A and B are shown apart, each in its own frame.
Chain A
Amino acid sequence: MNSPRTLYDKLWERRCVKQNEDGTALIYIDRHIVHEVSSAQAFEGLQAANRRPWRTDAIIATPDHNVPTTDRDKGIAGITDDTSRIQVQTLDDNCKTFSIPQFALNDNRQGIVHVIAPEQGLTLPGMTVVCGDSHTATHGAFAALGVGIGTSEVEHVLATQCLIQRKAKNLRIDVSGKLGVGVTAKDVVLYIISQIGTAAGTGCTIEFTGEAIYSLSMEGRMTLCNMAIEAGARAGLVAFDATTEAYVKGRRYAPSGQDWDKAVAIWRELKSDKDAVFDIEYHYDAADIRPQVSWGTSPEMVVAIDATVPLVENLPAGKSADYQKAMQYMGLEPGQSMTSIKLDRVFVGSCTNSRIEDIRTVAKLVKGKQVAANIKQALVVPGSGLVKAQAEKEGLDTILIEAGFEWRSPGCSMCLAMNADRLFSGEHCASTSNRNFESRQGSGGRTHLVSPAMAAAAAIHGHLVDVSKESVL
């Protein structure tokens, strides 16, 4: 009998080409997702060394990080920002030079890297997935090993179809019980990070387990795994189950016919064995999780919506100075209630929350209502062209536009403000993205990380508000 293994152990062993004596291993990569920001230098390196991509059918490229979310009909030539245009053009050129499949700017499959691959069945259970972007952890929702890599590693995977990795520790986060009204995957992950901190997952792969996790949809699991990196872990995982199977079935690049049965038989093993041992474990009860919102400049500076900005005397030991600095940056007083925070902008989008389910939630909450007068801009940026088309088919765009939201074309947008969508200094924004670092959404901008439901309710009220009290939920 083999000794019991975790899901991560299994994924690792399935793709281990070679174990090196120094503890590193050569891991085979099934899917490589490429975008315009972290690939140009990799292709430059490849060309300089006279190398070719090892396997182009393992790669899918798409521009997302700095594409405009308006006026896209002129294609790449229509991108007004010079540097953005050059990056998108360079990606396009490289895809042509190296015969790499691309969902180009005006292809309706284009979108945020971590949205488009799962949607096409290009992310499948048991795969190893890499991308030059830290939120590649998202793909772990499929019981796939998704890791973010740097540009040199992008070049390495292009040239060799492998990555040199050191095995991480097994960390398990178990959330038992049922989630309350208005509590979503985003709230679960924000709550977890507020409890364990942004460095707790360093050197670990997190597997999320428990009733509250298994009750989540695939969209919710992607939100959860997406933010594993915010807890310091390079990868997050959820075991394969009927929810995963139902989501994958029928996707464009998912197996079909006999292959499907064969694949599902393999995928059913993609869960931790009953007695598998984790290096570290945390347990939480879903009943303790209220809708969450970040008040500070790190994803661990998070409290429940009915709580307050922490009092100075309650700050965690050793972090007091950082926390006070964050309060200052955010323009908040210790003890101030979260619901008193007035907003300037609302952003619904990013690889954390821009999938169809997220957009449906927002539409449901704002239907027949109006964005508050003090909100200068409420943006909804779908994660892909297909999400956009689906939402339009359901009439969600009309609901959103009538409520006063702007309905955009897919891309990363205000998640990192590399395009024209951004906060101005001092502005508070309820954002469904994943990072509230200083100036992340625009120089001097003040980000409050929230769920799509919370963002919707906040847009209507003009300030952060307890979404669980909204009558439509």
Chain B
Amino acid sequence: MKPFTQHTGQVYPFDRANIDTDAILPKQYLKSIRKFGYADWLFDDLRYLDSGDVTTPIAERRKNPDFMLNQPEYQCSTVLLARDNFGCGSSREHAVWALRDYGFKVVLAPSFADIFYNNCFKNGLLPIALPPKVVDDLFSLAATAKLTISVDLVSKMICADTHQWQFDIDESRRANLLAGLDEISITLASADLICSFEKTLKDDEPWLFQTID
């Protein structure tokens, strides 16, 4: 994973609460077995007037001109601004891959669904939970003009316009993002500990270790 230290990009204000994983990436795209290549299907139901699936050529689909992300001035957004409970619904990580593949680097919202929030960190997407008041302010700023935001993970600061806000983030997650560390290697460093735990468990509860035939 690439280290994440700081990012400056354009805000896409998506003024809706409870944006669920179906809205972010509809389930027909879960059929893909790839780990990349989901950009064209992000917000699919909203972005297109017709419905598609993994086999539909994108060029043949009709874009919904009323959906703001389709408007030229928003197409290059990299910071998503939304309301409460962003990413609720299923555990599909594809939702995060779609945001990542589209080019989003940061998601700002008052709150996130747990699994979605976790999945973000595994894919170098930074979710930041902000107080509702700050989110309100950001929406107001974004309402009048295109808004660019800078997010600095080192100092845990967000700057937009002339304003600055501090944000909170779990220290270990921050450290891993900053270093671009992958979680499996971190865990495998404790392999001996896992082995001895497993051995004790096998003595105590041997029925957990039956072969499945």
Contacts and interface: CB of A to CB of B under 8 A. Distances in A.
Q: Do A and B come together as binding partners? A: yes
A355 to B, nearest CB: 21
Contacts of A150: 91-93, 96, 115, 118-119, 122
Interface in A363-384: none
Contact of A57 (B53, B55, B191, B211): B211
Given A57-B210, A132-B91, A198-B88, A417 B115 contact: no
Contact of A234 (B17, B114, B186, B190): B114
Contact of B88 (A49, A90, A232): A232
Interface stretch (B31-39, B65-73, B74-82, B160-168): B31-39
B88 A199 contact: yes
Contact of A160 (B51, B188, B212): B188
B170 A22 contact: yes
Contact of B18 (A84, A259, A322): A322
A430 B68 CA distance: 34
B9 interface: no
Interface stretch (B101-109, B141-149, B150-158, B198-206): B198-206
Given A66-B31, A148-B115, A199-B84, A440 B22 contact: yes
Contacts, number: 168
A302 to B, nearest CB: 15
A389 interface: no
Interface string B174-206: 000000000110111011011001100100111
A283 interface: no
A138 interface: no
Contacts of A37: 30-31, 92
A259 B188 contact: no
Contact of B53 (A54, A58, A83): A83
Interface in A394-443: 416-418, 435, 437-440, 443
B57 to A, nearest CB: 15
A57 B28 contact: no
B123 interface: yes
B33 A86 contact: yes
Given A17-B193, A199-B85, A418-B31, A124 B184 contact: no
B195 to A, nearest CB: 10
Contacts of A322: 17-18
Interface stretch (A39-47, A180-188, A213-221, A271-279): A39-47
B88 to A, nearest CB: 7
A28 B183 contact: no
A263 B207 contact: yes
Contact of A101 (B22, B171, B212): B212
Contacts of B93: 38, 41, 150-152
A156 B184 contact: yes
Nearest to B184: A159
Given A18-B190, A160-B194, A263 B18 contact: no
B213 to A, nearest CB: 7
Interface residues of B, number: 62
A24 B170 CA distance: 10
Contact of B207 (A133, A148, A254): A254
B113 interface: yes
Contacts of A153: 118, 122
B207 A161 contact: no
Interface string B13-34: 0000110101100111011111
Interface string A249-285: 0000111000100010010000000000000000000
B206 A418 contact: no
Interface string A154-168: 011001111010100
B119 to A, nearest CB: 4
Contacts of A49: 184
Given A17-B190, A150-B118, A159-B188, A127 B28 contact: no
Contacts of A126: 205
B173 to A, nearest CB: 8
Interface in A32-79: 37-38, 40-41, 44-45, 49, 51, 54-55, 57-58, 60, 65-66
Contacts of A438: 22-23, 45
Contacts of B94: 151
A34 to B, nearest CB: 12
Given A66-B31, A86-B33, A161 B91 contact: no
Contacts of B118: 150, 153
A443 B51 contact: yes
Contact of B31 (A87, A166, A263): A87
Interface string A175-217: 0000000000000000000000011001100000000000000
A82 interface: yes
Given A38-B91, A199-B84, 15 more contacts: A22-B172, A23-B170, A28-B197, A37-B30, A38-B93, A44-B35, A58-B208, A90-B33, A101-B213, A159-B184, A298-B18, A418-B28, A438-B45, A439-B22, A439-B45
Interface of A: 17-18, 20, 22-24, 26, 28, 30, 37-38, 40-41, 44-45, 49, 51, 54-55, 57-58, 60, 65-66, 82-84, 86-87, 90, 101, 122, 124, 126-127, 132-134, 148-153, 155-156, 159-162, 164, 166, 198-199, 202-203, 232, 234, 253-255, 259, 263, 266, 298, 322, 416-418, 435, 437-440, 443
26 contacts: A20-B172, A23-B170, A54-B194, A57-B209, A57-B212, A60-B212, A83-B54, A101-B212, A122-B212, A133-B91, A134-B89, A148-B115, A152-B123, A156-B183, A159-B187, A160-B187, A160-B191, A164-B187, A199-B85, A203-B114, A232-B85, A259-B206, A263-B207, A417-B27, A438-B22, A443-B45
Interface of B: 17-18, 20, 22-23, 26-28, 30-35, 45, 51, 53-55, 84-85, 88-94, 96, 111, 113-115, 118-119, 122-123, 170-172, 183-184, 186-188, 190-191, 193-194, 197-198, 201, 204-213
